[in-house]
Structure 1
Amino acid sequence: MRIAQLANFVGPASGGMRTALRALGSGYVDAGCRRLLVVPGPEDARTSTPLGDVVQLRAPRVGGGYRLIVEPWRVTDVLEQWEPTSIELSDKLTLLPVARWARRTGVGSVLLSHERLGDMLALRTGLDATSQVSIGLLNRLLVRSVDTVVVTSDYARHEFQQVADAAGCPVVRVPLGVDLDTFRPHVRGPADVLRLVHAGRLSREKSPHLAVATAVELHRRGTPVRMDVYGVGPHRDELKAVAGDAPIRFHGYVDSPARLSRALAQADVALSVCPGETFGLAVLEALASGTPVVTADRGGARELVDETSGAWAAPEPGALADAVLEVAARPTACRRAAARARAERYPWSATVESMLEVHSSVVIPANRSRARRVTSSSTAAPATTREPITIAR
């Protein structure tokens, strides 16, 4: 197979997406597939790597250091030269014309849905009544444009299932994974306080305010507590204001997964409390490092935590603080072993195997006119002037 991965919204803090793209791409290459990665960047460029060709297309900044390809025809120019058997899209908006191109040219298409648009916009804007009608129309268009939708959790599946069933488009659940060699338990130093940790983008749709407010609530109750926050984002100053005089330290971005694992392993409890998270790689990274997780009682992250590896509560500081204290009261060795055991259920190898099955299912055989689709029960615009980017074959 020749698999093209298309990532159209990439920035300095999109660590989860970069992690998933790299892990999947490595798995595809190890399985004998040819792999192409198309990403936005400051200028056109092509690089050959051990994980396949990487084509960077010139794209403007759209805020927060992110770039967005706004000329989808340039993506199709690249694909026409490279001739994939299937494409994997992780963007629901600007790359829709690429899915239409795939349908016209007989190339299989897979949408890897990594967010629920309604919940993401509601969390970002603070409005519950986000344009649900527009999102519903977009989802109906999406399921009629791709061969299969892949979601990472049952929570994410709910966004698509009804419209996908009506369109006859399979929705396949494929949980993401974690690097169990890099993220692992580490020896911890002694501490006489309850140590909390939060790792993630400091942006409203990730709910870092709720994590910080939970630590503040514990401090207000008189619990000896310390919280370490790892990550960058536009709301760091707001979060410092929320923290006030509570013992909360902001460490910025950690560019080494191994260093991040050591930091996560030092905590007694990790807070990953976003109620709109469709999966939660940060949850798995904490669990793999031997740190139990407290999360919200709804969302994809909730599906990763069981009664032994953490706890969940309503997404408000008082309830989450209670959950933290309950987890911290468990025997240290037991809760850390349970966290690691839970993470071991999610190796990247299982994710790659499931995604390869999906890609195989949408590849159109030479003697057929349309793609064979997997069953939904499985778990696992032209422009007037063009500037093509040439790819060596």
Structure 2
Amino acid sequence: MRIVQLANAYNPTSGGLRTVVDELGRGYVAAGHERVLVIPGQRHSREQGESGLVVTLPSVPVSGGYRMIPRFSPVRELLEELQPDSVEVSDKATLAAAGPWARSRGVGAVLISHERLDAVAAARFPHAWRAGHRALKPALHRRTRALATRFDAVVVASAFAGTEFAGTGGFLREIPLGVDLVTFRPTHGECGTGREEASRGTEEDPWRLVYSGRLSLEKNPIAAIETIKALIQDDLAVHLDVYGDGSQRHHLERVAADLPITFHGHLADRAELAARISRADIVIAPGPAETFGLTVLESLACGTPVVTADTGGAGELLAAGAGIAAASTGADMARAVAGILAWPEAERRAAARERAEQFPWSATIASMLDVHGSLAARERSLSRLKRRGLRRRKIG
């Protein structure tokens, strides 16, 4: 099959979306398929690599440092040239027009839903959402319904993500994402940090907490800072390392000026990020609207338990002993942190890793190829039926 992946908001710091698109693309190529990736950039370019052809189309900058292809027409021209067997869209904006295009050409079209529109709106604009959600929620549902009708299949990564498409009548498939279990692993290949147990939680050796992700409103990083404040008030010696960048960084640095918090910025080296997470005691993931929680899964793979929000899909990743889902406030998350620290370290680290091992990328890729292959086979069958119908009409 020739699978064309279309993605907006794809850049060097775009985190989860880029990871998903890249891992799937590598998996498609490894399975013997042809993969073409179409992404936004400053100018038009084509580059052939080990994971297939990457086409960059001119785009415009949008919020958060992302870029978006503003018009579908250049994408349409490219698709006409490429003649794909299946199209995979990681966007609910301009690139969603690929669904109708594919349907008119007898090509399978799959939408991967990376975010829930209502949950993101509530997290990014909390005051406006509370004031107008009774009108906004039905409007967003109508948009989601219309979006679903454009595609042959919609793929979501969690039950939470799937509720956005409830009642739309489309083909919905829940496929959990995966984790790189080689890059993200416990330090020295085993559970534990190597630090002396007796010195833990002291001013000389505080409990190490990590926040890893975009510093934007919808990710709720302020809750991680509020968690540190609450833990200090409870006389726990802690330190928070923040890995990530975004529009909220300067504000967060001001709020955290007198706290034991270090802002490292975006860490591009994933192996180094994994090593630092594996040396932490707990990861805080307070995003209330995560449709999956890739950072949560990567942390678990490092043998590091997680405190995550009890809303969104990230809590679905936790298992007994691997973490706690709590209300995304500083006080509630601080209680969850203290609760995890009371668990035996070897047991909580082993439970975290064991849970992550249930989510290899190979399973995700196999399930996605099943969706693409089914749609491509269906379209070939329909095409044959149409040709037979035309021949019969000519004979008649």
Q: Secondary structure at the match of 2:369?
A: helix
Q: Secondary structure at the match of 2:4?
A: strand
Equivalent position of 2:351 in the other structure: 338
Equivalent position of 2:157 in the other structure: 152
Equivalent position of 1:185 in the other structure: 186
**Contact 2:87/2:98, CA 8 A, preserved across alignment:** no
Give the deviation of 1:367 after TM superposition: 3.5
Distance 1:216 1:21 in 2: 37
TM-score (norm. length: structure 2): 0.90
Identical columns (%): 47
Equivalent position of 1:139 in the other structure: 144
Q: Secondary structure at the match of 2:62?
A: strand
> Number of aligned pairs?
367
**Contact 1:197/1:264, CA 8 A, preserved across alignment:** yes
Give the deviation of 1:106 after TM superposition: 0.8
1:1-393 alignment runs, 5 A limit: 1-127=1-127, 128=129, 129-130=132-133, 131-163=136-168, 165=169, 169-187=170-188, 188-190=193-195, 191=200, 192-363=205-376, 364-369=378-383
Distance 1:8 1:319 in 2: 35
**Contact 1:156/1:278, CA 8 A, preserved across alignment:** yes
Q: Which amino acid aligns with 2:156?
A: V
Q: Secondary structure at the match of 2:112?
A: strand
Distance 1:68 1:115 in 2: 16
Q: Deviations over 1:19-42 (max 9, x none)?
A: 111110011011111101000100
TM-score (norm. length: structure 1): 0.90
Equivalent position of 1:384 in the other structure: none
Distance 1:224 1:367 in 2: 65
Q: Bigger shift: 147-156 or 293-302?
A: 293-302
**Contact 2:107/2:379, CA 8 A, preserved across alignment:** no
Q: Deviations over 1:44-74 (max 9, x none)?
A: 0001111111110011112332111011011
Give the deviation of 1:202 after TM superposition: 0.5
Tell me how large the CA RMSD over aligned residues is: 1.5
Gaps of 5+ in 1: 372-393
Equivalent position of 2:391 in the other structure: none
Give the deviation of 1:189 after TM superposition: 4.9
Q: Secondary structure at the match of 1:299?
A: coil
**Contact 2:218/2:288, CA 8 A, preserved across alignment:** no
**Contact 1:219/1:246, CA 8 A, preserved across alignment:** no
Distance 1:144 1:63 in 2: 28
Q: Which amino acid aligns with 2:179?
A: V
Q: Deviations over 1:308-363 (max 9, x none)?
A: 11111122111111111110111111111111111101100000000001111211
Give the deviation of 1:237 after TM superposition: 1.5
Q: Secondary structure at the match of 2:111?
A: strand
Give the deviation of 1:6 after TM superposition: 0.2
Distance 2:381 2:12 in 1: 44
Higher helix share: 2
Give the deviation of 1:299 after TM superposition: 1.1
Distance 1:253 1:189 in 2: 26
Gaps of 5+ in 2: 386-396
Distance 1:270 1:65 in 2: 25
Relative distance call for 1:48 and 1:11 in structure 2 (3 A) is closer
Q: Which amino acid aligns with 1:133?
A: P
Distance 1:290 1:322 in 2: 21
Give the deviation of 1:116 after TM superposition: 0.4
**Contact 1:59/1:70, CA 8 A, preserved across alignment:** yes
Q: Which amino acid aligns with 1:110?
A: V
Give the deviation of 1:11 after TM superposition: 3.4
Q: Which amino acid aligns with 2:36?
A: L
Relative distance call for 1:277 and 1:359 in structure 2 (3 A) is same
Task: Give the number of the structure whose alpha-carbon radius of gyration is greater.
Answer: 2
Q: Which amino acid aligns with 1:263?
A: R
Q: Bigger shift: 108-117 or 313-322?
A: 313-322
Give the deviation of 1:273 after TM superposition: 1.6
